């Protein structure tokens, strides 16, 4: 019986090495486990390697995590497996690699054909976007939005509280006058702290 397990993790396989390994597993059917974790395999190298998976009928576990092949490289791998009706793949590991929607759609196609395949990756771009915190709104923009909602002319409002026309008011007075307009000032700050001792007219107009 020939070689069944091959661990080349953390070696500089790169493009030429990936192609040679692909050629080898295309010709030799005894290999069941292949670990190419962190082997400097980029997307182009992954595409060259992946062609072997359209023919190999023995490989069961493939580890290719932490390579710079990104989502297109992962996509190439599962696309070639989809072409192989006799594929023996049961595990695909793309740990540490963020995948995009194209990969996710192709993964669905693969799981429909081979529902027992276990696939891991570094997360999806779509899910990451959902988890991203909402962008912060500058407090002065929030203030302007508040005045628009209340239909208040901000210049006229500022003039009434800046009766000496110094064009600057203290932060404490600004907060107090904002509350008179019906604003809940903690919400207006929206996570961005006003760090000013005074508020200039030019900053909010």
For residue 112, the model assigns a pLDDT of: 95
What region, left, alpha or beta, does residue 123 occupy, with left being phi > 0 and alpha being psi -120 to 50 degrees?
left
Q: Please write the tens of the pLDDT for every residue from 87-102.
A: 999 999 999 999 999 9
**pTM value?**
0.63
8 Å CB contact between 14 and 38: no
Dump pLDDT digits (tens) for 112-145: 999 999 999 999 877 666 665 555 666 666 777 7
Estimate the crossing angle of helix 154-161 against helix 139-150, to 10 degrees: 100
């Amino acid at each position: 019986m020939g070689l069944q397990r091959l661990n080349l993790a953390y070696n500089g396989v790169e493009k030429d090495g990936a192609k040679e390994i692909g050629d080898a597993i295309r010709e030799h059917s005894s290999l069941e486990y292949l670990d190419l974790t962190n082997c400097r395999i980029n997307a182009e190298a992954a595409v060259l390697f992946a062609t072997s998976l359209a023919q190999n009928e023995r490989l069961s576990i493939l580890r290719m995590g932490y390579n710079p092949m990104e989502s297109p490289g992962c996509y190439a791998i599962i696309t070639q497996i989809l072409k192989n009706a006799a594929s023996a793949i049961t595990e695909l590991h793309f740990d540490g690699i963020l995948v995009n929607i194209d990969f996710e759609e192709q993964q669905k196609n693969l799981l429909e054909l081979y529902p027992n395949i276990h696939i891991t990756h570094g997360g999806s771009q779509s899910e990451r976007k959902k988890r991203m915190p909402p962008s912060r709104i500058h407090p002065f923009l929030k203030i302007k939005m508040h005045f628009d909602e209340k239909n208040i002319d901000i210049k006229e409002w500022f003039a009434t509280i800046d009766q000496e026309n110094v064009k600057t008011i203290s932060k404490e007075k600004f907060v107090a006058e904002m509350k008179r307009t019906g604003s809940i000032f903690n919400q207006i700050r929206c996570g961005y702290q006003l760090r000013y001792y005074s508020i200039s007219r030019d900053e909010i107009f």
